[in-house]
Every structure is written in structure tokens, then in C-alpha cells.
Amino acid sequence: EIVLTQSPGTLSLSPGERATLSCRASQNFGSSSLAWYQQKPGQTPRLLIYGASSRATGIPDRFSGSGSGTDFTLTISRLEPEDFAVYYCQQYVTSPLTFGGGTKVEI
Amino acid sequence: QVQLVESGGGVVQPGRSLRLSCAASGFTFSSYAMHWVRQAPGKGLEWVSLISSDGGNKYSADSVKGRFTISRDSSKNTLYLQMNSLRADDTAVYYCARERVPVVSPLGYWGQGTLVTVSS
């Protein structure tokens, strides 16, 4: 099983600041099967990034993904008030598909 | 537009069974693999199970293997999760989700979820 470890657990920032979220995998699985999701309280998860760096439909360009192998990063260039949420990484290259534990981005 | 509507959740005693359904619309159901993902109260996301587009391949998390069974009925555009021998730690919101595109891909569409509470 590929274990995904996200850090930090909580990120306290202000609107307009840059957010950098990390996702580390327990084994190398390339870069084509890593996704990031955003979940706001009481809402369904929303796909942000797939293939480590491709934005899903309708996702603003302030969200960007990078990385390969075992280390991946989600960057939010300038936080907007609606970006305060929990973010999860996920690998979908092999079963069991696994999620990271999440990073909460809070004001 | 893609719609996924889960049903079948509720309160159930430990050791009992429950079947969840997910009604799909707005896309060609038989072309896409489908998933179940759950989220315990206040916790993160946990992938539960996957079924291929033709139903021929199924995969499950170790935590539910042997207890939960995923299935689909393309004539009804419906995904199912049969949950047996339920335990307290199965308490969660259960989401059905569709892959983004019909190849190996992440979960692009999610239902609103149905809450399963396992309690005596």
C-alpha cells in the first residue's frame, strides 16, 4: 500500500499569502497518478489537480501542482477567502487507492 | 450534467447489514469505473472500493474486504455497496464517485453522500 503523508497538518495564513502544501509518498509511483482535492466544511470534495500538475476544469490558475516520484506540492499563489479549506492528496495508480491525511488551511 | 445521488444510509446495529445505492445520470454509466469513498465524522477521506466500467474487476480496502461488496447495474444506472458485519468504525458519510475520464483517473464527480451510523 502506498502511504501518503501530508504536511503540515494545519497552515495558518492570511488572504493574499502564498500556501505551500506537501504530500510525500512511501514509494515512488511516478507523477501521472497524483491528485489534489479541496473540501470545505459540509461540502463534497472537489478535484483540483490531477496528474500531479494538471488543473481540473474550472479551477483557477492560482492553484498549481508539482512534483514527481515521492514528493508532491500543491501551491496556492495568493489565498482568496474561499480557499480556506482542507486539502487532500490521493494516488490513483494502484489499489488500494489512498488519500493523505489532509492539510487544513485556516485564517 | 453529471449527477450522483446516494441513498440507503441510516442507523444500524453492529453486526447487521445495509445496502447503499447511488443513482447516476447525465453520462454513459457503463463507460466509467465507479468508487465508494467514506469519511468518518471529523476525519479524513478513506477510499473504500472500486468497480470497473464493465463490472468485471473489483477492488476494496483491506478494512472492508470480506465484508463489503461493490456492484453495479448498468440497466438501472445504479452503483451499490452491500455492507455486512457492520462495526462501529464503519460509521461515516459514504460518497459514490466517478472517475474524471474513462481511463485510470482521479475522482472527478462526487455525490452528496449518505450517512451510515453503526450503533447499538
Q: Nearest residue of A to residue B61 by CA position?
A: A96
pLDDT, residue B110, reads 97
Non-local CB neighbours of B100 within 8 Å, separated by 6+ positions = A47, A50, A56, B106, B107, B108, B109
Look-up of cell digits 461540502: A43
Residues present in chain B in total:
120
Give A37's contacts in chain B (Cβ within 8 Å). Answer: 45, 107
pLDDT exceeds 90 at position A68: no
The CB-side HSE value for B39 (13 A sphere, CA atoms) comes to 24
Mean pLDDT of chain A: 94
Please list, residue by residue across A63-99, b when 16 or more beta carbons sit within 10 angstroms of its beta carbon and e when fewer do: bbbebeebebbbebeebeeebbbbbbbbbbeebbbbb
The answer to whether A102 contacts B104, with C-beta atoms less than 8 Å apart, is no
**How many angstroms from the chain centroid is the CA of residue B57?**
15
pLDDT, residue B104, reads 80
pLDDT band at A14 (very low <50, low <70, confident <90, very high): very high
pLDDT exceeds 90 at position A105: yes
pLDDT exceeds 80 at position A47: yes
Q: Which amino acid is at A104?
A: K
Which three cell numbers mark A68? 514527481
pLDDT band at A32 (very low <50, low <70, confident <90, very high): confident
Chain B: closest CA distance from residue A29 (Å): 14
**Positions of chain B with pLDDT lower than 70, given as ranges:** none
Q: What is the DSSP string of A42-92?
A: TS--EEEEETTTEEPTT--TTEEEEEETTEEEEEESS--GGG-SEEEEEE-
pLDDT band at A95 (very low <50, low <70, confident <90, very high): confident
Residue of A31, A47, A90 for testing the chain B interface, max B β-carbons within 10 Å: A47
Residues B58-75 have pLDDT tens digits of 999 999 999 999 999 999
The answer to whether A88 contacts B60, with C-beta atoms less than 8 Å apart, is no
Non-local CB neighbours of B66 within 8 Å, separated by 6+ positions = none
| Residue among A13, A12, A89 at smallest CA distance from A47 | A89
pLDDT, residue A3, reads 96
Look-up of cell digits 479524513: B44
pLDDT band at A30 (very low <50, low <70, confident <90, very high): confident
pLDDT band at A62 (very low <50, low <70, confident <90, very high): very high
Q: Which amino acid is at B21?
A: S
pLDDT, residue A29, reads 81
